[in-house]
Structure 1
């Protein structure tokens, strides 16, 4: 027990803090450029804004992350353990998804084209980090056939991408959830990597999580302006949501591959968002509606329309739920490491069930309420 709490830093703490701050500052500066000269998202029936707003803030996040990571590697690379290959594959995968999103921000690509690109790229990434085993409890480890592992891993990536993309419809909501997920991921690696046989390989992945989290922090005030949260100065756009979705989903598979976390950890990070997206898709499918068509039927959108139009208060609620589920996931990993009792899958099932029941009850109650006079 004493050995467990002896901290061994994978990367010097000063360097991690410096990377976080530097990435936030660079992102804030680049966000100003997006506001001045980036593409504009005009108000649409399915949107939650009434004024033309610069989009593709995700490009500022991507550029700030890449610049900060590159500079740190150039000048402090000797302090970063791990496999450069893993970092390149993960960040490259996320960046390609982000670039696809940026193109969609400008050209509004057909949904079928976007999905085809996502499937192709997710299959390539899953080939490197496909799941080979699933842990369902103490002593219950199931070997996954290669083809099923490949398809399942790709399906997880596609689900993560679209979950964050679909939930990026209220100022600050997705940006905050992404930041929490990345910081908790970094915390998990800091805690568990020094105790795992191959954990030292995750140094570059840790640096990526910290730098991208910092870039999100730098952009957040533009997406959820203090004092005027209803009037975003910029959106992250599909560029940002697809970049973050690919990074979080991909990091889940990389961390699993090195034995630091399980495939279930991504479910803990995004539990509230996954529940809203999956249950909304089920409702729309049962109503025989086109699930690829944009809409305003997610629970968070109904909340804005019928309960409270404040983006700030909505964001705080969702952030709180994301932080709660993420910390439960970290706690389950610690229980597994200290007491050799793997409750992660069972706990995730219980958490998803609780969120699903809450979703159904709240949605039923909200739909009985009239629309607000100025519903988003």
Structure 2
């Protein structure tokens, strides 16, 4: 039944996206080019509405049941209901932003409400972690704020990488596929089903969103995907060891690292953390000579490597995991240095990378 549901979710996304495209033009949910944008013509956004609709269709066709491991106490409503309500709130927030470009505070309010529904209403929270060398770290009163910060942080991280055709949708699909595989390994059919349905919906949307894009997902899609990924990652790895808690961080390595470097960059330059710029990873790769399509595919590859590393990390011993993290940190630093050198007109380096890519 799951395979049939995935096919139907994919088809639903294929069918709904052109309808949403026409709706976007009709209601004025369009993205106009400016100095910070890569595209040069008016583009319809709101595409995330097609992803959301396809996901809802797939969910109600399959109706995945929560297992005992998904049940959390105390909860006012079932976690599945909380997720759907939170997803609706975050999607409405995105739709309003795509239509009217609401303020950052209004968007943050929508994100907070969506997260609070899942955390307070559904009871999903990181209440404690078991330390690797014995003992337990209980977050106490900080568990709810920390969980809400996680959800809002990942939601915005996905939103920040939505700068090129197909980038956010593709990276999200890779993260969701990794989540589905991980949930399958851990014997969690509920998380596996939701992640797989959402991945199928995103792939259908990518048919129209990959370069050259016919429609953008807009904040509707970026916020919805970020919210769902953050919640599903929490459901799979709550109340466990420090080592296991690192798995979703590795899995979401691309958006998290890009967001981290953006914050460091803006603090160093004494700018607002929410200020927009053209120094994200995809901008840097474009600036050093890669084409639009090549840049997106390179970041896809990096995201896939992070996903593979997360899978390996989940099966590794403690010291093996520490070694893997060390290698990854070194690799990230080397990559940052390579991009920095290339940005200073080290053209032979870029030509070599392009040659390898062929």
Q: TM-score range by the shorter chain?
A: 0.7 to 0.9
The counterpart of 2:201, out of the listed 190, 210, 215, is: 215
Match of 2:219 in 1: 238
What is the CA–CA distance in structure 1 between the aligned matches of 2:140 and 2:116, rounded to whole Å?
13
Q: Which moved more, 1:91-100 or 1:49-58?
A: 91-100
Shift of 1:93: 1.9
Q: Which moved more, 1:144-153 or 1:355-364?
A: 355-364
Shift of 1:122: 2.5
Any conservation in 1 of the 2:51–2:221 contact (CA below 8 Å)? yes
- 1:252/1:345 CA distance change after superposition, 3 Å: farther
Match of 2:246 in 1: 264
1:165 equivalent to 2:151? Answer no
- 1:46-68 Cα deviation digits (max 9, x unpaired): 11111111111100000011012
Shift of 1:142: 3.3
Match of 1:358 in 2: 334
What TM-score does the superposition give when structure 1 sets the normalisation length? 0.81
Aligned-partner SS, 1:129:
coil
**Which of structures 1 and 2 has the larger relative contact order (alpha carbons within 8 angstroms, sep 6+)?**
1
Any conservation in 1 of the 2:5–2:61 contact (CA below 8 Å)? no
Shift of 1:98: 2.1
Shift of 1:135: 4.5
- 1:140/1:64 CA distance change after superposition, 3 Å: same
Mapping of residues 170-249 of structure 1, within 5 Å: 170-193=164-187, 202-224=188-210, 229=211, 231-249=212-230
Any conservation in 2 of the 1:28–1:218 contact (CA below 8 Å)? yes
Q: Which moved more, 1:354-363 or 1:101-110?
A: 354-363
What is the CA–CA distance in structure 1 between the aligned matches of 2:135 and 2:204, rounded to whole Å?
41
Shift of 1:236: 0.8
Aligned-partner SS, 2:33:
coil
Match of 1:116 in 2: 109
What TM-score does the superposition give when structure 2 sets the normalisation length? 0.85
Q: Name structure 2 gaps, 5 residues minimum.
A: 72-77, 347-358
Match of 1:153 in 2: 147
Match of 1:134 in 2: 129
The counterpart of 1:101, out of the listed 57, 80, 94, is: 94
Mapping of residues 78-93 of structure 1, within 5 Å: 80=65, 82=67, 85-93=78-86
- 1:271/1:343 CA distance change after superposition, 3 Å: farther
Any conservation in 1 of the 2:46–2:95 contact (CA below 8 Å)? yes
Any conservation in 1 of the 2:130–2:240 contact (CA below 8 Å)? no
- 1:259-292 Cα deviation digits (max 9, x unpaired): 6993322211111221122112111111111221
Number of residue pairs matched by the alignment:
332
Any conservation in 2 of the 1:271–1:352 contact (CA below 8 Å)? no
Any conservation in 1 of the 2:266–2:273 contact (CA below 8 Å)? yes
Any conservation in 2 of the 1:133–1:141 contact (CA below 8 Å)? no
What is the CA–CA distance in structure 1 between the aligned matches of 2:141 and 2:324, rounded to whole Å?
25
